[in-house]
Amino acid sequence: MQLSKAIGKYLRQLRDIRLVSPHTVVAYRRDLKHFLMYLGDMPLCDISRSRAQDWLVASHASGLAPASLARRLSALRSFLDTAVRMNWCPENIAAGITPPKQSKRLPRTLPPEQTALLLQSTSAISESRDLALLAVMYGCGLRVSEVAGLNLVDIDMGEAEMRVRGKGGKERVSPVPDGVYTLLSNYLDLRMGHADVSQEALFLNRSGGRLSARSIQRMLKKRALATGADVSVTPHRLRHSFATHLLAGGVDLRAIQELLGHASLSTTERYTHLDTNKLTDIYDHAHPRARKR
């Protein structure tokens, strides 16, 4: 079987049978298309391990980040796993290739006063929606894709909780804090009076359709400019700030893991850290030599 045909079949299987997230399908399509362009449309069984390694080396030489290289290798492995299972080729030549070591660099957080600035009132036409959206992102620690994917039926105002669909289609229930509840309630009252009753999305754009992740990012930048907040703010920085502020406030790491929807605690540990002042405070209260007489 030719490489291009095998890739096409694999991507259709991901989308139609395995029902993986559209984001994953798009990312894997991009990576495998690059692999096809690098090798050319050759028989799948003729691809050697060294050719796959050469592709990764060339990707690294082009300046691709370690995380992106790891994703490319993951896409290739998954594709070849399927190829072996479907008898398109005899072996997965990428099975023993080691992914590049990724850095532990953490995204910067926003101090609480910066998040307070973002939640100040502005003259935006969509002010009620924007405030509710910001409150959900920062107050519940949601990914931008999770916020954009929220539907009306996911919100239970009576129980003060929402159902969130995370990576890989995994669902979790997130509590709605009091501050978020108030802003969300205000938006829902306004939305019910203006939106098409057939529209299931929670957050809507001016045309009455679902607000996209890209639109949420643009809104955030525009709001930062209007309120004098840090213009480098991103949805992911809000999510990371949510976790960091909870940790600094003494919330257990396992609880933060559940709120963020991480499958592994090690992932949560990468997204959360204690600052120097917090560590100093812990030392002063716990270490025998730090106690003043």
Domain shared by 18 and 136, yes or no? no
253 shares a domain with 124: yes
Number of neighbouring beta carbons within 10 Å of residue 193: 7
Residue-wise pLDDT for 164-220, tens only, equals 998 877 889 999 999 899 999 999 998 887 777 788 999 999 888 899 999 999 999
Q: Is 273 a catalytic residue?
A: no
Distance of CA 94 to CAs 48, 73, 91, Å?
9, 8, 9
CA atoms of 187 and 152, how far apart (whole Å): 12
Count the domains in the chain.
2
If one counts every other C-beta atom within 10 angstroms of the C-beta of residue 190, the result is 15
Tell me the per-residue pLDDT of 94-143, one tens digit each, with 9 for 90 and over.
Answer: 887 877 776 656 667 888 888 889 888 888 889 999 999 999 999 899 99
41, 3 Cβ separation under 8 angstroms:
yes
Same domain, 120 and 221: yes
CATH number at residue 212: 1.10.443.10
- SS3 call for 139: helix
Both 150 and 75 in a single domain?
A: no
Residue 116 located in a structural domain: yes
Rounded Cα distance, 161 and 87, in Å: 46
Residue 265 has pLDDT above 60, yes or no: yes
Which of 15, 34, 77, 167 is catalytic? The answer is: 167
Q: Are residues 207 and 242 in the same domain?
A: yes
Q: Which of 71, 72, 129, 143 is catalytic?
A: 143
Q: Residues 166-175: pLDDT tens digits?
A: 887 788 999 9
Assess whether 186 and 273 both reside in one domain.
Answer: yes
Q: Let me know if 262 is a catalytic residue.
A: yes
Tell whether the model's pLDDT for residue 282 goes beyond 70: no
Would you state the pLDDT for residue 106? 62
On whether both 128 and 54 belong to a single domain, the answer is: no
Active site residue 28: no
Both 21 and 124 in one domain: the answer is: no
Question: Does residue 262 lie within any of the structural domains?
Answer: yes
Regarding predicted confidence, which is higher, 284 or 232? 232
The answer to pTM > 0.75 is no
Q: Which of 71, 237, 239, 245 is catalytic?
A: 239
Q: Confirm whether 245 is a catalytic residue.
A: no
> CA–CA separation, 113 vs 12, rounded Å?
47
Q: Whole-angstrom Cα distance, residue 266 to residue 257? A: 9
Q: Which domain covers residue 60, as residue numbers?
A: 3-85
Question: With 70 as the cut, is the pLDDT of residue 276 above it?
Answer: no
Distance CA(138)–CA(64), nearest Å, equals 30
In a shared domain, residues 255 and 177: yes
Catalytic position from the list 221, 236, 270, 273 = 236
pLDDT over 60 (residue 88): yes
143 given a catalytic annotation: yes
CB 90 within 8 A of CB 45: yes
Same domain, 20 and 142: no
- Is 73 part of a structural domain of the chain? yes
For the chain, what is the mean pLDDT?
85
- Indicate if 80 and 118 belong to the same structural domain: no
User: Is 148 inside a domain boundary?
Assistant: yes
- The verdict on whether 283 is a catalytic residue reads no
